[in-house]
Structures are given as C-alpha cells and as structure tokens.
Amino acid sequence: MAKKTGNRNLHSSRRDKADEFYTQLSLIENELKYYRKHFMDKIVFCNCDDPYESNFFKYFAINFNSLGLKKLIATCYATSPIMYSQLNIYGQDNIIGEAKSGKKPYKIEITEVTDLNQDGRTDLADVEYLIRNKKNILTLLDGDGDFRSPECVDLLQQADIVVTNPPFSLFREYMAQLIEYKKDFLIIGNQNNVCYSDIFPLIRDNEIWLGYNNGHFWFAVPDTYEEKATDFKIDENGQKWRRMGNICWFTNLDIEKRHEDMTLFRTYSPENYPKYDNYNAIEVSRTADIPCDYYDIMGVPITFMQYYNPEQFEIIGQTHSSDLSDSTESLRTDSRFRHRGRIKGKEKYARILIRRKQAKSEDKQ
C-alpha cells in the first residue's frame, strides 16, 4: 500500500507545472568538463530527459565520440509538458506519430554518432540523423516512463553513470534509487538537500559530495508556468525562464576539487568564536572564517560543503533535530534544545559540525 501511495505522489509531482525546470546547455558544459575521464567506454543514462528538449541528451549525443561513450540512453515520461517540442526528428514517423497521438513515453538508445554532413564534428544536425540511423533505437515504452517504473529501473541497471536534473521535489526518492542500485551519478539539486535526514548521512560518510559549480541559475520552464514578480523572465522567443537559488551538483565521481585544501587565514579566539549553549562546539559564522589553529568541533555554514576536502576535515554531524547519530548526540548539552545551535539564547542558522584533521606536518596548537 505504501508503494502505491508513493507512486501516486510521484505522478502527482510529475504533473505539477512548478516542478519542471530544464537545464541550459552552458550549465551542463561548465560542470561536465571536469568529469570527461569518467565517461570512457561507459553507458550513460539520462532518465528524466525528453531527447526532443533535454540539453543533457544533446550534450552527450554531440560529445558521444569525444567522450568515448559506449552507449547513451534517454527516457521521457508521459506527462512531460514539452514532449516533441524542439528537435526535428524524422524517419521514425510510425513511432513518433503513435507517441504524439497519445503522449506516450519512449526511450532512445545510441551506440554510435555519425558525422552526417562530414564537417568534421558532430552537431544538432547529426543528432537528428543518428536517431533515425538503423544502429540506434527509438522505441515506445510500455509504462509511463517514470524513473521508478520497471522499464526504467531495468535500464538503470544497465547503466554505468546517471546524469540528469531530476524534479526538485523528488530529489530524495531519486537519490535513494541511485544509492540502492549502486550507480555512479552526477545530478543537479538544491544545496539545502544536504541537510535532509536521508541525504546528510551519505554526505557525512563520504558516499556522495558536491561538484564544482553552485549558485543562482536560470532554467527554462513550460509555457503554462505562472509568471512571477521576481527571478522570472520571458525571452525574445517567448520562452519562460525561472532563476533558482542555491543550485549545486551532487555526485559520487571523484574530482580534483575534493582533494584541494581550503586556505585558512583566521586564528581562534574565544571572543570571535563563541561556544553554543546547547552543543559542545564553537560557532563559525562564515566558511571563510574557519580558524587555522582550532582542532575541536566547529559549526560551519552549509556553504562549507562546496570546499569540503575529507583529507582536511571530518564531518561529525549537523545542528538539526533529525540527526540522531551517536556523534551528534554526544555533542548536545541541553536536551531541551536539540535543534539548531544557540548562543546566549539566540538560535543560529543550520550548521554542519566539523573537525579539522591534524596534518602530519603540523604541530597541534
């Protein structure tokens, strides 16, 4: 019964216009340039991506040969408001016609990309060609194309790496599936996802981490999306856009950034780094203010995760009542206030509890 309820919620969220955000190609390119070595001879699955619109699909199709991909798989779901809206894919009229008539989902599997116009590179014209090439497959799905449907789970099990922008409201379910099937991934999410009770342990235990880019980014939204007074625009082509804040990438692919030490300038003093009333830790209000000479527990902003190097710091817990880990419980000093840290009775923002590791070349102060 619980599973059926979960699926209803899943499908309801899929139909929610406010949960459809489509990623710009530039945002994808600016992040994936750091991961190229991971894709050689791999099967990539984009399981929230209508190939007619998805820039994830376009990126991997255009770069199929340069990345050395073995296969690219993309699936879309039946209620997508932008199905069949952009790429002029022809030559599969019997399939596309049937799909359009009933808004049926489909999958595309690509095993090669041919330079159709022989200009020495693959471009969107070649992407259109490769979909109708006999060595590539476009087929209808029996189900609704949801990433949790049996068909999509079967495709997931074939894949080596999953790359996409899942619906923000389904981030927890989506991440849980990736972990369950032990998949490598690179996906877009909100930085606040770090503090979710089912996401944070993965961060703490170094099973997942953040990628390179973060901040406020513009996403294309369906035409039916309600206009907003702020962080909203309509371009010269009539396309609606919404700017989302605190956007970041989540991954379990190793990257150089994760092994770069943060440069620390500040020195510790009790006056500048007061202790919490309810946690045995000091407050560090800004990531840039982490002291270079303090080796006990500190509460730091979530933005710290963008600079986190597990060789330099250890994540202990977070100042959130959902964190019931032994390591965090041992730091709580007032059972009345188990949520955010307090200083002189005033509640602070959510914090990540960390400890700096002692470098071999350092003498502990």
β pairing state of 240-251 and 232-234: antiparallel
Helix (H) / strand (E) containing 147: none
∠ CA 17-18-22, nearest 5°, is 85
Mean local confidence (pLDDT), 249-278: 97
- Please report, rounded to a whole number, the percentage of residues in the chain having pLDDT higher than 70: 84
Mean residue pLDDT of the chain comes to 85
User: What per-residue confidence (pLDDT) applies to 247?
Assistant: 96
DSSP for 46-115?
ETT--TTT-HHHHHHHHTHHHHT-SEEEEE--TT-TTTTSS----S-HHHHHHHHHHT--EEEEES----
337 vs 289: CA distance, rounded Å: 26
Q: What is the pLDDT of residues 200-215, one digit of tens each?
A: 999 999 999 999 999 9
What digits encode the pLDDT tens for the residues 234-251?
Answer: 999 999 999 999 999 999
- Higher per-residue pLDDT: 338 or 143: 143
Length of the chain: 365
| pLDDT over 80 (residue 121) | no
Residue 2: predicted pLDDT: 38
Question: Residue 9: pLDDT band by 50, 70, 90 thresholds?
Answer: very low
pLDDT digits (tens, 9 = 90+) for 25-34: 999 999 999 9
How far apart, in whole angstroms, are the C-alpha atoms of residue 192 and residue 299? 16
pLDDT at residue 83 is higher than 50: no
Specify the pLDDT at position 32: 98
Q: How far is CA 210 from the centre of its chain?
A: 8
